[in-house]
Amino acid sequence: MDFRVAAIGLLVGLLIGMTGMGGGAVMTPALILLGWARPLVAVGTDMVWSTLTRAMGAAVHLRQKTVDFVLVKRLAIGSIPGALAGLALMAHLHHQGGDALDKLVLRLLGAALICVALSLFLRSLRRKATGENSRELPDRRGPVWLTTVVAFVVGFLVSLTSVGSGSLIVAGLVVIYPNTPLRRIVGSDIVHALLLVGVAALGHLGVGEVNFRLLGALLVGSIPGVWIGSRLSAVFPEKILRPVLATTLMVLGYKLL
């Protein structure tokens, strides 16, 4: 087993557990830029890895009662059909040739990372202007239709690039539901992402674009990482990590374009 791969899994697992972000946004470009997998295989492997890793994080957040199932339902109503639409497009392009699909995935991935980075920067500025939220009760006064539309777009993007199930959804929920505590948004996002990424992973398994040897090494590091990160999510100052993650994603996105 390559312990470098396990170390990457540990790092990204910590990010997912603490912030609900960093899965596809960090893992997929890392696999590509380090030369461990071609774009479509990197996405497929990350999908299956994310499903198994997020299951651990979801279990922790469920025990901590930081999951709002109303938000999870609103998100799933849009994201699951979006993921299915993206998988249908992927299957169509896959039959026409892998090279063209790899190039499309690479460009979409780079653009998605830059969008995620910008959303994180904007989120940091918004928090500085309004102050961190200390409410404990859920606030669902945001428009239901907007939540579902955003989730559909993210679901479509996730199925093709593996990016957005955490970072874009969290950023969107913070804007739509500004009075909901961040820990509840993160917990709800991780449970929802488990459903979304699980559907997308089945699609990638169906076309055979998964490296199981690479997957095993990633899980060795990520499962304990996401457990530790989820335990730390209630106390870790995310405002410190957020700008660092945003800058990293901006650089990765630029390199992939």
- Distance between CA atoms of 14 and 159, rounded to whole angstroms? 23
Q: Give the pLDDT mean for 160-166.
A: 75
Q: How far apart are CA 32 and CA 25, in angstroms?
A: 12
190, 58 contact by CB (below 8 A): yes
Lowest mean pLDDT: which of 33-37, 139-143, 144-148, 175-179?
A: 139-143
Mean pLDDT, rounded, for 237-248:
68
Dist CA 74 CA 65 (whole Å): 18
Q: Is the pTM of this model over 0.85?
A: no
**Residue 165, helix vs strand vs coil:** coil
In terms of residues, how long is the chain?
Answer: 257
For 11-20, 96-105, 140-149, 185-194, which range has the lowest pLDDT when averaged over its residues? 96-105
pLDDT at residue 94 in the model? 73
Task: Report the pLDDT averaged over residues 23-43.
Answer: 84
Closest CA to 42 of 56, 26, 55: 26
Asked if residue 37 lies in contact with residue 98, where contact means CB atoms within 8 angstroms, the answer is no
Average pLDDT (167-189) is 78
In terms of pLDDT, which residue wins out, 20 or 44?
A: 44
Instruction: Give the number of other Cβ atoms within 10 Å of residue 144's Cβ.
Output: 14
Which tokens sit at 201? 């992973």
Does the pLDDT value for residue 20 go beyond 70? no
Rounded to an integer, what distance in angstroms lies between the CA atom of residue 39 and that of residue 28? 8
pLDDT at 126: 60
pLDDT (0 to 100) of residue 224? 87
pLDDT at 155 over 70: yes
- Dist CA 10 CA 152 (whole Å): 30
The token pair that represents 31 in the structure block: 């696999």
CB 151, CB 188: distance < 8 Å: no
State pLDDT tens for residues 85-133: 988 888 887 776 656 677 777 788 788 778 777 777 776 666 555 555 4
Lowest-confidence segment of 10-14, 94-98, 143-147, 213-217 by average pLDDT: 94-98
Q: Which residue type is seen at 236? A: F
Q: How many helices (H) and strands (E) does the chain have?
A: 10, 0
pLDDT: is 117 or 234 the higher one? 117
Residue 81 has pLDDT above 90, yes or no: yes
Q: Where are the domains of the chain?
A: 3-256
Please report the pLDDT score of residue 134 as a whole number: 46
- Tell me the average pLDDT across 128-151: 67
Give mean pLDDT, residues 134-141.
55
Choose between 69 and 183: higher pLDDT.
Answer: 69
